[in-house]
Amino acid sequence: MHSNYLNPAIRQLRDQQVRFAPREKRIEQAAQAERLLRELDPARTYPYEYICYRVTNYRPESYPDLKLSGHEARHDLGLFVEDVSDSIGATAEAAGELVLTVEELARQFNVSTKTISRWRRHGLISRRFVIGGRKRVGFLQSSVQRFVEQNRDRVARGAQFSQLTPEERSLIIERARRLARAGGGPADVTKRLARRTGRSAETIRYTLRQFDHDHPEAAVFPDSYGPLQLEAKRRIYQQYQRGEAVDAMAARFHRTRTSIYRIIAEMRAQRIMELPLDYIPNDSFARVRSHKREERVIGPLPDAEIPQKKSRLPSGLPPYLASLYEVPLLTRKQEAFLFRKMNYLKYKANRLRTKLDADRPKRGLMDQIERLYDEAVSTKNQIIRANLRLVVSIAKRHVGPAQNFFELVSDGNMSLMRAVEKFDYGRGNKFSTYASWAVMKNFARTIPDEHRHRDRFRTSHAELFTATEDDRPDPFEEESQQTQREAQVERILERLDEREQRIIVRRFGLRRGQEPLTLKQVGAELGVTKERIRQIEARALSKLRKAAEDERIEFPS
């Protein structure tokens, strides 16, 4: 819809009728506005109350003292008629009389489409109809006749200026064809012919466009004037991203530089509308209004309060996996910071995207959305890199003689990436607990499937006839139970602070591959006395018992 109304009162009236008036009322109001348009004198002044009453049959309470010049009222009511008819969505056949498109009207009066645009600015009333399956500007035959009667001199001047003899038209077509064969594009050919013939560039352009439309088999510029197909637009955008010059693409596709830039903007906007900007909401996002507060959210990662010791590299890992242990683990504070940053960046990009007009995208707005999205992806990758060794650790515990270790790691990495997208840091849980559950759940699902698949291809007939009931415990059932127990332990460990968790894990060997340590050994690691470790352990165990009761966890006897 139009936004360039001269007076906000008429634009507000348009908004009210389009949103709230029934369809029949809008049809009536469009007709009444058109009748009023024919009566307005540009030299007079009209109260807004009078205009509103003539269009809607009611007297408004707003703008009681507002007056509009005749010129202002004619301009805005013309837009009002077009916008209201656009909201109706009526077909041209339902208009009750002949409806002419811009091109048909130009042919009827032998003028250019630019001349038709000038006539619209001088009182030719247009509406919008569904023509050929899409909405287009159209003119009622009665509206055209009234305009011609009131503007005979203007119509005559337009026809005289643009009229070409058949000989002139044929000469222009032939010259254009020769220039096109020599490699000239529509814009260049139009300019050169305009200089040679003394005609306006718009007249030349219209003549060539009309000839190509009427004679597609002999067109001077096949497919150059009509809209490009989606595939061609995508190709233009891809070539632009690769660094190809706009001038070169304009010459190849027989388009102006402006058209190429418009296509690039259109395809870029389409790509932005498809960006995955789903985020985990948090109440704190709406409170980030000042630049200073935002810097605290999206600034650099804070340093760890206690420098972390370099992790010991497990033996036997290939270089690809060994490199994972060079990435430092995240502290709980750093982890929460990165998740907040990632989700806030996508939240902000999502909000900005709602302001993006795909038909008229603004370059600055698209730059800002893409910059936020790229930073969100970078933050996500930072979280993933810091947790990849977790996947390796879990895969080592689940791999068996029938599994491929590297396939397990690959599957686990995919689960880790999905977990990063779904994790809600606002609940206060550690991401490693959530990610471990996601990865182990994926392994628990895929590993039994692989075994069932292999079992289908065991073909020994003797085994089938001599088979007896297997009373051995199901290893996969045991694995599933163990996974469930581990998840329960991790869940209640979340009730402890970071130091308490570390002490309990080290004291009781809760991580695979780790042996339980004495109070003295744990104290040496943390740099405190064994008595202090005993006190913290006692407090932590009390918390765990309470957590187990709250979670209603049943432990095996």
pLDDT at 457: 43
- Classify residue 527: in a domain, yes or no: yes
- Note whether 542 and 480 are same-domain residues: no
Cα dihedral value 202, 206, 207, 210, nearest 10: 180
- Note whether 151 and 178 are same-domain residues: no
- Note whether 489 and 504 are same-domain residues: no
In the block, which residue shows the tokens 């890992």? 317
What CATH number is associated with residue 487?
A: 1.20.120.1810
C-alpha count within 13 angstroms, C-beta hemisphere, residue 65: 0
What CATH number is associated with residue 501?
A: 1.10.10.10
Whole-model pTM over 0.75: no
pLDDT at 252: 75
Written as six digits, the tokens of 35 are 């009748």
- Note whether 297 and 391 are same-domain residues: yes
- Note whether 489 and 513 are same-domain residues: no
Last residue of a domain, one of 215, 238, 273: 273
For the chain, the distance separating the N- and C-terminal CA atoms, rounded to the nearest angstrom, is: 72
- Note whether 70 and 116 are same-domain residues: yes
- Note whether 308 and 418 are same-domain residues: yes
Burial degree of 254 (CB within 10 A; 0-12, 13-18, 19+) = buried
- Classify residue 2: in a domain, yes or no: no
- Note whether 291 and 415 are same-domain residues: yes
Triad 493, 499, 504: Cα angle to 5°: 50
- Classify residue 386: in a domain, yes or no: yes
pLDDT at 309: 63
Q: What is the pLDDT along the chain (557 residues), one digit of tens a residue?
A: 666 889 999 999 999 999 889 999 999 999 999 999 989 998 899 999 999 999 999 888 888 889 999 999 999 999 999 999 999 999 999 888 999 999 899 888 878 787 888 888 888 999 999 998 889 999 999 999 989 988 888 887 776 555 677 888 899 999 988 888 887 778 788 888 988 887 778 788 878 888 887 887 788 876 565 567 788 888 898 888 888 999 888 877 777 788 889 999 999 999 999 999 999 998 888 888 777 788 888 888 888 766 666 666 666 666 766 777 778 888 888 999 999 999 999 999 999 999 999 888 999 999 999 999 999 999 999 999 999 888 888 888 877 766 677 788 888 888 899 999 999 988 888 898 888 888 888 777 665 555 444 444 444 443 433 333 334 344 444 445 555 666 677 777 888 888 888 888 888 777 655 677 888 888 888 878 888 888 898 888 888 888 877 766 654 43
Closest CA to 79 of 25, 123, 22, 21: 123
- Note whether 405 and 489 are same-domain residues: yes
pLDDT at 230: 81
Closest CA to 432 of 525, 515, 342, 329: 329
Q: In sequence order, which residues have a C-beta less than 8 Å from that of residue 158 and are 6 or more positions away?
A: 109, 111, 115, 118, 119
Written as six digits, the tokens of 512 are 């695979």
Cα gap 186→330, rounded to integer Å: 60
Phi-psi region of 32 (alpha: psi -120 to 50; beta: other; left: phi over 0): alpha
- Classify residue 469: in a domain, yes or no: no
Cα gap 230→260, rounded to integer Å: 13
Cα gap 325→338, rounded to integer Å: 19
Cα gap 428→401, rounded to integer Å: 38
| Domains contained in the chain, number | 4
pLDDT at 476: 41
- Classify residue 150: in a domain, yes or no: yes
- Note whether 321 and 344 are same-domain residues: yes
Q: Which domain holds residue 41?
A: 8-161
CA distances from residue 188 to 184, 213, 251, 255 in whole angstroms, order as listed: 6, 20, 9, 10
233 and 269 in contact (C-beta within 8 Å)?
no
Q: What are phi and psi of 135, to 5 degrees?
A: -75, 130
Closest CA to 16 of 71, 73, 62: 62
- Note whether 246 and 337 are same-domain residues: no
Cα gap 122→151, rounded to integer Å: 9
pLDDT at 462: 37
- Classify residue 460: in a domain, yes or no: no
- Classify residue 368: in a domain, yes or no: yes
Cα gap 228→264, rounded to integer Å: 12
- Classify residue 3: in a domain, yes or no: no
Cα gap 193→174, rounded to integer Å: 11
Last residue of a domain, one of 161, 187, 218: 161
Supply the angle between the helices 166-181 and 186-197 in degrees, to the nearest 10: 140
pLDDT at 163: 63
- Note whether 424 and 546 are same-domain residues: no
Burial degree of 541 (CB within 10 A; 0-12, 13-18, 19+) = middle
Last residue of a domain, one of 105, 137, 161: 161
